[in-house]
Amino acid sequence: MPRLSAYLLPTEKQPPADAEAISHKLMVRAGLVRQMGAGMWTWLPAGWRVHQRVVAIIREEMDAIGGQEMLMPVLQPAEPWRKTGRLGIDELFKLTDRKGSELVLAMTHEEAVTFHIAQVVRSYRDLPLIVYHFQVKERDEPRPRAGVLRTREFIMKDAYSFDRDAAGMEQNYALHVGAYDRMMARTGLRFYRVEGDVGMMGGTGAHEYMAPCAAGEDQIVLGEGYAANVEVALSSAGVEKLREGYVKDGEPLSLEPAIEIGNIFKLGTRYSEPLGASYLDETGAEQAIWMASYGIGPARIVAAAVEQFADEHGISWPKALAPFDVHLVALGKPGTPEREAADRLFATLLDGGLEVLYDDRDIGTGEKFADAELLGCPLRLTIGRRSLESGEIEVQVRRGRAEASPLPLTAPPEQLLRELDELSQTLA
């Protein structure tokens, strides 16, 4: 675990001049990300830790439903995209190599995964199947904006299910709905699962996972037992747009901005037919494979968490996503008794399995506290001269900036870790 004196965490007092979204402002100010070009972002160490916490949650839930992780290339031949009719998508990066071969930079991997499944699946005994990967996507986004919310390059988890028929596809789709609901709940985000539009993906149905926040580019329509994006709502039975807003069967609906953080699609045979993905059934007849795809964006989940929980002092992470469990602040200079006490506490916390960011820098107290509130770890522990006098470690809960009961400085490590764990269990 890092000491802040040697950790790459370039905090800033002011946000970028072009930043409008809260997540854009705070993620740059907190030293989590830096921009290289329009829609091109680098994740710095603390930001990458948050990103990978999201990845870990997603991976656990995908594995739990039988998903098999793999990795497919970003650089792909153009021909499969031509066969599916998606080569002409404006947002798709297209290029040629030195031999003149047409290539694309994938914005999603339906073509790639169906290409492989067409080669390896032969019989009904090979199905059903779920595969997934975390991979970079490239998108020629016309208007990159809002920091990591709308970019030209990003990592997405995309999963694909393959079944013998429509009934099998529906079962796998329902399995993923459950997994996605659990993913969202584990991140700590407020979210809605809404009916979505299939768009350029095609297929027979879709759902979107939306995190409501002011920076959201999408609009969701909400009512008692009803949630849909605006496009779907307007085509739903009983939904009307009146001058004063939306109504369903005469009952008023509310409109809320939200960030799309996940999208799942019932693809049917949209990709398997043009790419020749088929199997032989029990009678020996050839059948097209039924597919569905499931995407989720870790970066968007990170940004949505910042948007939903930030306050005027900085970020306030949900416990499941925080870059560190504890932000330990030492107020004494090197060689002082208070610094030695902070060093001992740091070692105790590490031995107890906690992930700790230790601020051992030789700077002012106010700057240390400001950086801790900006970064937003769930708990801040402080040791200074007052701690030695009182025999207590100062504890602040970041959410709400609430002072918690102090911890005993000279308690046995087991007691200290137990009390800290009990406090952590109360955090959202």
Q: Measured in whole angstroms, how far is the alpha carbon of residue 257 from the centre of its chain? A: 18
Pairing label, strands 286-288, 278-280:
antiparallel
Per-residue pLDDT of the chain (428 residues; tens, 9 = 90+): 799 999 999 999 999 999 999 999 999 999 999 999 999 999 999 999 999 999 999 999 999 999 999 999 999 999 999 999 999 999 999 999 999 999 999 999 999 999 999 999 999 999 999 999 999 999 999 999 999 999 999 999 999 999 999 999 999 999 999 999 999 999 999 999 998 877 766 667 889 999 999 888 888 999 988 888 888 888 888 888 888 788 998 899 999 999 999 999 999 999 999 999 999 999 999 999 999 999 999 999 999 999 999 999 999 999 999 999 999 999 989 999 999 999 999 999 999 999 999 999 999 999 999 999 999 999 999 999 999 999 999 999 999 999 999 999 999 999 999 999 999 999 98
Q: May I ask the CATH class of domain 326-425?
A: alpha beta
Residue 31 token pair: 């030293």
**Which two three-digit tokens encode residue 333?**
């200079």
What is the distance between the alpha carbons of residues 295 and 340, in angstroms, rounded to a whole number? 48
Q: Got the DSSP string for 115-148?
A: HHHHHH--BGGG-SEEEEEEEEEE---SS-BTGG
CATH of domain 4-309: 3.30.930.10
Dihedral sign for Cα 215, 140, 78, 198, please. Answer: positive
Amino acid at 162: F
Q: In terms of residues, how long is the chain?
A: 428
pTM: 0.95
Per domain, the residue ranges of the chain are 4-309, 326-425
Indicate the Cα dihedral angle 399, 402, 407, 413, nearest 10°: 0
Six-digit token string for 310: 């930030």
The neighbouring-strand residues paired with 296 are 157, 262
